Amino acid sequence: MGLFRGMRDKPPSDYLLKIKSFSLFSDQGVEKIDSDKFEAGGHQWRIVLFPGGCNEGSGDYISIYLSLANKDAVADGEEVNAIFRFFLFDQVRGKYLYVQGSARRFDRVKCKWGFSKFIALEIFKEPSHGYLVENTCFIGAEVYVIRNSGLRECLSISDFPGVSYKYTWTITQFSKLGSFCQSDEFVVGGYNWKLALCPKGNAKNEGCCMSLYLQSVDSQHFSPAQKVKAKFKVTLKDQKRGMNDVTYADIFWFDSSVKCWDCGSFIELKILKDEEYGFIYEDQCVIEAQLTVLYETCQKTLS
């Protein structure tokens, strides 16, 4: 099975397990560690970890699996299709290593899938990598359940070639803005997007910080199964010297219920208005958004 490995800043969204005194598990003959149950995609799951490896990874690797914990609630012949990622926290650099494979089918009989060679023990234990610090590690999981609502529909997930687009929003007469304003729409990956901001902050940050949003315009028309995953960064430009730019970056799923990404405390108002930083220059503000559409899911009626 092909594996994809990467690094990111954001922690896993579904579950994070802290393991203390890691080496003692192997020393005391504990071959398997089962996490507590966690919910994702309407099902209960567990992380199953083999500190000393199993199968092809026995002795040289850590092996890790995702187990369908509520398999008894799955009817005979029913299946749960899921794409999952496992995470390992680099405590030195503050980043997460993640490993993802292909979509897998879970049922009452085959209820566990994973990787026998998740990470080599030699790499895991090397202090410079930051995965095991003071004999403590952090392991997590994300599970995306692929739903198919009937025999006449097909649910799919597709990746994009990774073409990025940069949009520049120049806001004039900034001092005269109301409580909310939006940019023009721009197109990336065949989808329409726009930026929006609350110059004086949203409800939670009013009078304290400027709030900024990235909106998926098309998501209001999405079906419940349709989602778009985008990687992006938004930057407030220093128009004087270009030295004080403020940038936020994220990877986010947009769907019919979550139509926008927001940063309520994007920048403090006192810093925003300080002429020394150059964020507002001649009553003008410039915000750049660089966006890449990574994946989309769609649901189609079969002919």
CATH topology of domain 164-301: 2.60.210
Q: Which residues pair with 301 in a beta bridge?
A: 153
Q: What is the pLDDT of residue 299?
A: 64
CATH topology of domain 4-146: 2.60.210
**What confidence tens digit (pLDDT) does each residue in 18-57 have?**
999 999 988 888 899 999 999 998 999 999 999 999 998 8
Q: What are phi and psi of 280, to 5 degrees?
A: -115, 115
Which residue, 150, 159, 203, 158, is CA-closest to 180?
Answer: 203
- What are the structural domain ranges in the chain? 4-146, 164-301
Other residues' Cβ atoms within 10 Å of the Cβ of residue 48: 18
Q: Do domains 4-146 and 164-301 have the same CATH topology?
A: yes
Q: Which amino acid is at 30?
A: V
**What confidence tens digit (pLDDT) does each residue in 262-302 have?**
999 999 999 999 999 999 999 999 999 999 998 888 766 55
Find tokens 């009452």 and name the residue: 108
Q: pTM higher than 0.75 for the full model?
A: no
- 277, 267 in Cβ contact below 8 A? no
CA distances from 14 to 157, 228, 231 (A): 20, 19, 19
- In our burial notation (b when 16+ CB lie closer than 10 A, e otherwise), range 138-150 reads bbbbbbbbbeeee
282/280 Cα distance (integer angstroms): 7
